[in-house]
Homo-oligomer: A and B are copies of this chain.
């Protein structure tokens, strides 16, 4: 469930954040679940513990996970984002950017909507391919 690609242009610590978000979507992670410890995950992924720690810190800032000192790191139980938060605005900007890019690639609205439908279908079918 945790996989990172060190040659990607996306920083490793962001890939880990995405791994967790994706795990939530796929129900591989549910509130209360314990994440691997910083040291453990860094070994599994053959990366530096600091890099994992950075990911966990950001996930904590996002409110997605909670750290219990001396015990470990857990998926938050009561996570609920405020509407109109910075992140929702950021997501809207990303969508707008996608529309712009689609247009220049000669792809239209239907293409986008169909692709979104397909992505949701894949998740429901448990199709976990990248």
Contact = CB atoms under 8 A, between A and B. Distances in A.
Interface of A, helix, strand, loop or mixed by DSSP: helix
A115 B69 CA distance: 31
A120 B99 CA distance: 8
Interface residues of A, number: 46
Given A21-B101, A24-B103, A104-B64, A95 B119 contact: yes
Given A25-B103, A61-B61, A95-B119, 20 more contacts: A6-B71, A21-B103, A24-B103, A25-B104, A64-B104, A81-B104, A81-B105, A87-B101, A87-B105, A88-B107, A91-B98, A91-B101, A91-B107, A94-B97, A95-B115, A98-B98, A99-B119, A99-B120, A99-B123, A109-B117
